[in-house]
Chain A
Amino acid sequence: MSLAVKVGDEIPELVKHPTTRQLVQYAGASGDFYEIHYDQDFARSVSLPGVILHGLLKAGYVGQLLTDWVGDRGTLKSFEVSYRGVDVPGKPYRCRGRITKVDGKNVELDVWGEDDNGQKTTLGTAMVELD
């Protein structure tokens, strides 16, 4: 089955519900043990509101957004994200994407993550090659 895609289409969104438990799981699985992700006192000591999500965990969410959408109908070629704000556990995180270019089998997208106020705290782009 091929994907019918056109510029301006949004792909199905992915809403995540990060918890402190998930931050500890991610720290262990990724090997990133920076204390701002699990030690509340340490996080506040470096002027953060408390423990925050790993940027790379948010990249992981965006990766899931993309691979859920592409499935076995193509290949994720690249994606990049910049982290524009900090996000805390206990609040939903909404990942979205919109097609910006279609050139034969090559599709480009804007991708982003929104906090529960609708602030885009992660911004990026992705390139996918459809079969």
Chain B
Amino acid sequence: MAATDVVGRIKAHIGKTQKPVTATVEAGHLRRFAESIGDPNPRWNEEAPPTFLVAIAPTSYHLDEAEQYGKGWLNGGNRFEYLEPVKVGDRITATGKVADVYEKSGSSGNLLFIIFETEYTNQHGRTVARLRGTAIRR
């Protein structure tokens, strides 16, 4: 299949919102996450460290079509915006969407950029954080 067809079919996902994922912030999960970063701050016994919300729901969702472009994924970048602290016991809902899809030519061939955006709300319906991620197929 020509790459342009693949790109077109991936572009069809722009603006589509994924089924929300809801999870409760657990103390044990916070501890394992902080340990995996090697961050010993006792604050993370009760509160989510800055990048924890990525562990609540995938930052990018699986696009079968994207697997047909290039041979692997790279993470191009992430942006985190915080509106409220996230604490143990909070029930967080993550809603993700594809915000943009575009192709660029790189030194070792073409690259496909897929921009994912995720909004996180708590049990009170308030937005606590937003995440933007750039996934690259190469």
Main secondary structure of the interface of B (DSSP, over half): mixed
CB of B80 within 8 A of CB of A25, answer no
Near A by CB (< 8 A), chain B positions 21-56 give: 29, 32-33, 35-39, 41, 43, 49-51, 54-55
Asked if A83 contacts B37 (CB within 8 A), the reply is no
Q: Are A83 and B79 in contact (CB under 8 A)?
A: no
CB contact under 8 A between A60 and B82, given known A55-B75, A79-B50: no
Contact B36 A36 (CB under 8 A): no
In angstroms, Cα B45 to Cα A45, docked, is: 39
- Report Cα–Cα, A30/B51, bound state, in Å: 9
Number of interface residues of B (CB under 8 A): 31
B124 part of interface (Cβ distance < 8 Å): no
Q: Does B82 lie within 8 Å of A29, measured CB to CB?
A: no
**Chain-A contact segment, one of B10-18, B66-74, B96-104, B115-123:** B66-74
Residues of B within 8 A of A68 (CB): 41
In angstroms, Cα B33 to Cα A47, docked, is: 29
* One of B50, B79, B132 near A60 (C-beta < 8 A): B50
The distance from the CB of B84 to the nearest CB of chain A, in whole angstroms, is 10
Scoring B32, B78, B81 by chain A CB atoms within 10 A of each residue's CB, the highest score goes to B78
**What is the bound-complex CA distance between A75 and B84, given in angstroms?**
10
Flag if B82 contacts A55 (CB, 8 Å). Answer: no
In the complex the two chains form, is A64's CB within 8 Å of B36's CB? no
Question: How many angstroms between the C-alpha atoms of A66 and B35 in the bound complex?
Answer: 17
CB within 8 Å for A67 and B41 given contacts A30-B33, A60-B50: yes
Q: Which B residues lie within 8 Å of A64 (CB)?
A: 37-39, 41, 49-50
8 A–B contacts from the bound complex (CB under 8 Å): A29-B33, A30-B36, A47-B71, A56-B51, A66-B50, A68-B41, A79-B50, A83-B76
